[in-house]
Amino acid sequence: MSLRYLGLVIMAVVLAWTPLRAATFELPPADEAVIGESRKTTTRYEDTLIDLARRYSLGYNEIRGANPDVDPWLPGEGTEVVLPMRFILPDAPREGIVINVAEMRLYYYPLARAGEQPQVVTYPVSIGRGEWATPLVTTKLTGKVKDPTWYPPESVRKEHAADGDPLPEVVPPGPENPLGEYALRLGLPSYLIHGTNKPFGIGMQVTHGCIRLYPEDIKSLFEAVPIGTTVRIVNQPYKAGWHGDELYLEVHAPLSLGEGKAKPSAPNNLTPVVAQVVAATQGREDYPVDWDKVRAVVNGQAGIPISVARDRPIAAAETSIAQAATPGPAQTQ
C-alpha cells in the first residue's frame, strides 16, 4: 500500500468520525420561519443512530423520531437514514438564545454587523427530567467558565447515594466532571448551559435541570456568545411556519415538566395546533390547508417540518416521515 493511499484512507476515517459543526443558516424574512433541509445518509456496518446524531449535530430523540423503523443500535450496512436537519424557528424574538425544551434544541441569533446577513445557529441539547425539569424563564447569560468545577447540590448527592453511587462535595475539572470543559452561567441560581462527559445523552431528558450540549457544540457557543445575552427557555411542542408560499407544521411529543410546573397538553390534542395554523394563515385564508394531514402530523409527532397543503409535493428526504403520517381511511372518518 502506498503512503499516499494510506494517507487518503486515514483521512477518510478521520472525516467519517469527526463531528460536523453546528448548523448555521441565514435568518429568513420575518414572515418566514423554516430553515435548513432534511437529508438522507446510508449507514456503514459499524454505525448506530447515536453515532450519526453526533456527527450531524442532532439529538437522539430527533434522529430516532425521524427513523422510527430503524434499529437504533444495529441499523445494518447500507440502511437509509433520514437526517432531520430542517427546523421551524420557535415563536420567540429572534435575538440572543432561545431554547425550546419540547424539541430539545437551542437557537442562537448572533448580532450581525452592518452589511452582514443575519444568521441563526442551532444545537441539540439535553434538558431536565422529572422533578428536575428545566424551568421556563427569560434570563441573561451572566458568566463563562472554562474547565468548571462542579459542586453537586445536596438533592443530587442524595439521589446518587441512594443508587449506590456517592458523589464527593466537589468534582474538579477533568474527564469525570459532568459539566465538561465549558459552562455558561445564567441569572438563574443553580442552572447552567454546559458541556458533558456523556455525549450519548444529548437530545434526551436526562439532566438535573441544566442545558447540556455536545462537547464541540458548547465550545463553539462558548466562544461566540457574549456575556449579557438574553436567554429565553420556552416549551413549544407545536410550531407552524412559512417557507415561501408553503406552510409547514412541526410537532413534538409534549413533555411532562415535573411537579408544580407546566403540564403538557393531552396527547394528540388538535386545539393548540389548529390555533397555530389559523394564526399562521391570517391574511392567507384561501391557503389550501389539508386538515387530514394536520391531524396525521399531530398523531405522528415525528418532530420534522411537513407541508400541510393539499396536493403539494414533499421533499425526498421527508417522504418516509410523510408516509408514516399519512392518514388511512379509518383515520379520516
Same domain? For 151 and 267 the reply is no
Question: How many CA within 13 A on the CB side of residue 260?
Answer: 5
210 is catalytic: yes
Among 202, 233, 264, where does a domain finish?
233
Identify the active-site residue in 160, 210, 243, 252.
210
Q: What is the SS3 string spanning 55-97?
A: HCCCCHHHHHHHCCCCCCCCCCCCCEEEECCEEECCCCCCCEE
Number of domains, the chain: 2
CA dist 121 and 70 (Å) reads 28
What's the order of all strands across the beta sheet hosting 192-194? 23-26, 119-124, 105-109, 96-100, 230-234, 138-146, 182-186, 192-194, 211-212
**Which of the listed residues 182, 206, 233 is the one where a domain comes to its end?**
233
Report the predicted TM-score, pTM, of the whole model to 2 decimal places. Answer: 0.85
The domain that contains 167 carries what CATH number? 2.40.440.10
Catalytic residue of the set 160, 194, 243, 252: 194
Query: Do 107 and 90 meet the contact criterion of CB atoms below 8 Å apart?
Result: yes
CB 81 within 8 A of CB 67: yes
The answer on 250 and 207 residing in a single domain is no
Span 14-32, pLDDT tens digits: 334 444 556 899 999 999 9
* Cα 51 versus chain centre, distance: 16
Q: Is residue 270 within 8 Å of residue 295, measured between CB atoms? A: yes
76-117: pLDDT as tens digits: 999 999 999 999 999 999 999 999 999 999 999 999 888 889
Query: Do 98 and 225 belong to one domain?
Result: yes
Given a contact cutoff of 8 angstroms between Cβ atoms, the answer to whether 60 and 84 are in contact is no
Pairing between β-strand 96-100 and β-strand 230-234 as defined by DSSP bridges: parallel
277-290 pLDDT, tens digit each: 999 999 988 999 99
Mean pLDDT in order along the chain per 10 residues (333 residues): 40 41 87 94 94 95 93 94 96 97 97 91 95 93 95 78 76 90 94 94 93 97 97 96 95 70 56 92 91 92 92 55 43 28
Domain boundary among 209, 233, 257: 233
Is residue 252 annotated as a catalytic residue, yes or no? no
Structural domain that includes position 280: 238-332
Phi, psi of 35 (to 5 degrees): -130, 155
Q: Are residues 229 and 97 part of one domain?
A: yes
**Is 283 part of a structural domain of the chain?**
yes
Domain-located, residue 215:
yes
Residues 248 and 159 in one domain: no
* CA atoms in the 13 A half-sphere facing the CB of 49: 25
Separation CA 304–CA 62 (nearest Å): 8
So what's the pLDDT on residue 258? 52
Owner of C-alpha cell 455536545: 214
253 and 137 in a single domain? The answer is: no
